Amino acid sequence: MRAAAAPPRRIFGALRDERLRALGDERDWANLTCCLVEDIAGRLLSHDVAEYYRFRAVCRPWRDHTADPRARGALDSRFRPRNWAVLTITQDPGPRRLLLNIATAASLSVNLRALTTHCHLCAVDGFLVLFHMRTDAVCLLDPLSNAVTEFPALSSSSTIVATVPTVAAQHFFTFFRRPGGIRGHTINGACLDESTSPPTLVLGLRNNLHKIIFAKPGDAHWTLVNQSQAYYSDDRGRVVFHSLLSHGGRCYVASLEGSIFLVELGPLPQLVEIVNQAQRVNAAAVGCVRILSYLVGGSDGRMLMVRYWTNVEHFGGRRAYSKMELFTVGSVTGRIEVLEVDIAGRTLVPVRSGGLGHYAAFIGMTHCMLISTKTFPSIVANAIYLGCFYQSCHKFSIYRLESRRAEPPHEFNLDENETVVPRARPCNLDQYLVCYVDRRHKLSGPCINHVRH
């Protein structure tokens, strides 16, 4: 007698699926306990604010049990779009943009309506620094929520106030009597200072201005930061800063030679010296830009500095250094060092063991960033990437810290708008990033999203 055939597995699978569907229908997801909703939301927020937005968008009860990002203003430090970057190389007048999270590799396509009327100049803490083409107003745009935070206009020098005279009177009057006033397109680099409420936006002005200004939302004007100890006695009285960084809720500035200053907002706005490196160089080295220093936020909360001595012949020659510290491109021998900034000890400490590890530093005048090569394997680990502007000047793109070897520069062309763009298309991630960190220079367009003004 033949045994009865076993029922097909798919029948039991179908029954199991029906039971699961029935259970799912009975679950009341909207009425999760308050503690559970808060715990889930907190975990998502610690990972990425975009996930927090998605969680709150599911239903009203979840929104009722979680903090509203708009309640304390768009600059609330808990809900900033950190690590999100708009990667664009060619100008695009439309509002659609691709966002990339440089920490997680997540990407989003977003519609940023403000870009139809504003120039995109740089970014800070994920916010886009925008300049209105007609009103000359400055604002910060959150690319995840489209929330806009308004700041004073920068239409003329009359919108900038000096609470304390600059070091030399003639420099003070030269700055405030500029023909045509101060244009927003001179903005190149920004910080947010948390020592005030609401936070203060600090901007670096370049294009031969080399001044630092700041304002809070609701202020009637911008305030000029006094050069103080960062003063250089040239004919413009410039603050020869090269890099700005928000760190620990304060704004820090690095000069070309690697001196570091804290932007002190009150009672007298000025640059307060933290690390003095002026004795390392002479005035010619600064005036001729023979040394470059960049502040980079470390992965573990540290502040790092990447310092590039462009030609050691101006700094004692090859014999003054170990051969292991030097590299040669063409006939020029340079030196790159990575240093940790010890704020409490007011000194720079060489980073030796492992260098940057599995990270790479992208350094430019507009932004500096540390990228994990575990997240983005196409990026070279333990390496320094120069921004596109200095690649063209110094003829290399990547400096490998372990082998002390430099790679050839990326190849760039001038497009029909006479803007520098990578020759190879489609672009790799590193090409996007070297353009991102150098957003405003003499070979770039007037801004990121407009060809002409």
* pLDDT tens figures, 160-189: 777 665 555 555 545 555 555 567 778 889
Amino acid 438: pLDDT: 86
- pLDDT confidence bin for 448, thresholds 50/70/90: low
Average predicted confidence (pLDDT) for the chain: 85
pLDDT in tens, 186-197: 888 999 999 999
Residue 421 CB neighbour total at 10 angstroms: 19
- pLDDT confidence bin for 337, thresholds 50/70/90: very high
Which of 154-163, 217-226, 274-283, 318-327 bottoms out in mean pLDDT, i.e. has the lowest? 154-163
Q: What would the two tokens of residue 232 be?
A: 């250089």
Task: Quote the CA–CA distance of 36 and 48 in Å, as a whole number.
Answer: 18
Q: Which of 373, 337, 176, 341 is nearest to 254 (CA)?
A: 341
Which percentage of the chain shows pLDDT scores above 90? 55
Are 211 and 239 contacting, i.e. CB atoms less than 8 angstroms apart? yes
Task: Quote the CA–CA distance of 169 and 347 in Å, as a whole number.
Answer: 32
- Spell out where 80-195 has E strands: 84-86, 96-101, 107-111, 118-124, 127-132, 137-141, 148-153, 160-161, 187-193
Q: Where are the domains of the chain?
A: 27-67, 290-453
Element (DSSP H or E) covering residue 202: strand 200-205
More confident residue, 123 or 9: 123
Amino acid 410: pLDDT: 87
Task: Quote the CA–CA distance of 105 and 123 in Å, as a whole number.
Answer: 18
Task: Quote the CA–CA distance of 346 and 208 in Å, as a whole number.
Answer: 29
Task: Quote the CA–CA distance of 142 and 251 in Å, as a whole number.
Answer: 20
Average pLDDT over residues 192-209: 90
- pLDDT confidence bin for 1, thresholds 50/70/90: very low
Average pLDDT over residues 306-334: 93
Amino acid 243: pLDDT: 87
Are 113 and 146 contacting, i.e. CB atoms less than 8 angstroms apart? yes
Q: What would the two tokens of residue 66 be?
A: 């979680």
Instruction: Give the up-direction half-sphere exposure of residue 337: CA atoms within 13 A in the CB hemisphere.
Output: 19
The answer on pLDDT for 444 being more than 80 is: no
Amino acid 89: pLDDT: 75
Task: Quote the CA–CA distance of 324 and 308 in Å, as a whole number.
Answer: 15
Total-model pTM: 0.87
The answer on pLDDT for 128 being more than 90 is: yes
Amino acid 11: pLDDT: 47
More confident residue, 408 or 6: 408
